[in-house]
Amino acid sequence: MEIEIPYGKSVLSADIPDGRIGAVLTNQLHDYEPPAPADVLVEQALASPIGSLPLCELAKGKENVVILASDHTRPVPSKAIIPAMLREVRRFNPQVKITILIATGCHRGSTRDELVRKFGREVYEQEHIVIHDCLKDTMADYGILPSGAPLCVNRIGAQADLLIAEGFIEPHFFAGFSGGRKSVLPGICAASTVYANHSSGMIDSPYAHSGCLKGNRIHEDMVEGARRVGLCFIVNVVCNGNKETVAAFAGDFEQAHLAGVSFLNELCRMQVDEEAGIVITGNGGFPLDQNIYQAVKGISTADIICRRGGVIIMAAASVDGHGGNEFYHTFACGKTAGEILQDILSVPQDKTRPDQWQSQILARAMARHPVILISTQPPELVQRMGLIPADNLSQAVEIADGILGTKEKIVVIPDGVGCIPALKET
């Protein structure tokens, strides 16, 4: 059987004996055909907003509108969404001041070329675009969130008299689902807010995992943060495995987001009969597999169904490197994954370090399983992080077989970000 894993802007393939494949988990969204072009789906969603007046009505009389836009790490079809939002805002208010605030969270700032690719040259050159900096920007204080985290938000967003957002919805490895409220938290919050929301205790919760919103304190903090700041209206889309927009949801930031979540739940959830000895997965290809940091998302999905001591094989091109110095040095320090995990669990909420959450989830997976990484990065870098380098899928399977001492069944999850697997209850 030939298996294919999205990898950068292409795919990795390998022939695996049929008898070794336990399952290939591809969600129903993977081959979901777009019912219309992306711009048409967005226009239809704007014409029938969920739980809200139309955006053009909300913008009447407003002087300062801020649109929160995703950054370069998200495959959001901004070329279809942002022009439509701009037209709606200006329909009855042509002189309104509009700022597009790039909701980077704690990511690096987007480059000029990345913004041009994202929005198109016309929007980039004609609109006022500001990139959020979680460490340097002036913040507005909105008090303390239910978790105890401080809520400090970019003053540009806080001073808007209409705050709206674009985005996309997919399963998220600790917030349950992306989209909606995440444009505010972590999108335009201070580092201290993001770090506290992503603290070790919050990440360690049994409810902080892909597909789970109920009881998820990370999600609850995010919703409360968006409410306090006044996020009013969103346009969020859902994309298939080819990064094509297949659905769009517009309106109230909570109700429209939940409508998108309901749509995804029908397509992304799947049950597995038993734990696997080997799980092969990827991060959905570019742009989600740009670095090892982002690859943790797919690894966390594999962790759900890989038996303790089984092997995870992650294919992530990682052309942008490890993805963060703090993240890299956490694993290059010479400690075992178990030691790293215990160190992180002992960190108080207000002392959370940069990228600690990603390190915690990766360390948890590595403490349970050897993790083999296929990437473009030098083998020495991969090894320093405690991961096992491989050049291709066939070699990775051979390494896994050598570790296990036997040829165990393999479960393949081509897009580890887009699936919500669960073991069947016995």
CA distances from 219 to 9, 175, 299, 332, 416 (A): 31, 5, 21, 31, 21
- Structural tokens at position 419: 């699936």
Are residues 245 and 319 both part of a single domain? Answer: no
Q: For the stretch 139-164, what's the b/e string if a residue is b when 16 or more beta carbons lie within 10 angstroms of its beta carbon? A: beebeebebebbbbbbebbbebebbb
Q: Strand, helix or coil at 229?
A: helix
Task: Tell me whether residue 42 is in a domain.
Answer: yes
Q: Strand, helix or coil at 358?
A: helix
Residue 296's domain spans which residues? Answer: 2-27+273-423
**Contact 301/284 with Cβ under 8 angstroms?**
no
* Residue in 107, 198, 219, 322 annotated catalytic: 107
pLDDT tens-place string over residues 286-310: 888 999 999 999 999 999 999 999 9
For the chain, the straight-line distance linking the first and the last C-alpha, in angstroms and rounded, comes to 30
Q: What are phi and psi of 83, to 5 degrees?
A: -60, -40
- How many Å apart are CA 270 and CA 324, to the nearest integer? 32
Are residues 298 and 235 both part of a single domain? Answer: no
Residue 75 has pLDDT above 90, yes or no: no
Task: Tell me whether residue 55 is in a domain.
Answer: yes
Are residues 44 and 173 both part of a single domain? Answer: yes
Are residues 110 and 228 both part of a single domain? Answer: yes
Give the number of domains in the chain. 2
CA distances from 266 to 282, 288, 359, 414 (A): 22, 23, 31, 19
Task: Tell me whether residue 32 is in a domain.
Answer: no
For the question of residue 369 being annotated catalytic, the response is no
* Residue in 30, 128, 132, 172 annotated catalytic: 172
Are residues 238 and 277 both part of a single domain? Answer: no
pLDDT tens-place string over residues 334-358: 999 999 999 999 999 999 998 899 9
Are residues 118 and 221 both part of a single domain? Answer: yes
Q: Strand, helix or coil at 253?
A: helix
- How many Å apart are CA 302 and CA 416, to the nearest integer? 7
Are residues 229 and 323 both part of a single domain? Answer: no
Are residues 199 and 259 both part of a single domain? Answer: yes
Task: Tell me whether residue 33 is in a domain.
Answer: no
For the question of residue 172 being annotated catalytic, the response is yes
pLDDT tens-place string over residues 215-257: 999 999 999 999 999 999 999 999 997 889 999 999 999 999 9
Are residues 263 and 277 both part of a single domain? Answer: no
Are residues 382 and 277 both part of a single domain? Answer: yes
Are residues 300 and 168 both part of a single domain? Answer: no
Last-in-domain residue among 221, 251, 267:
267
Q: What is the pLDDT of residue 340?
A: 98
Last-in-domain residue among 210, 245, 267:
267
Are residues 205 and 259 both part of a single domain? Answer: yes
β pairing state of 10-15 and 2-7: antiparallel
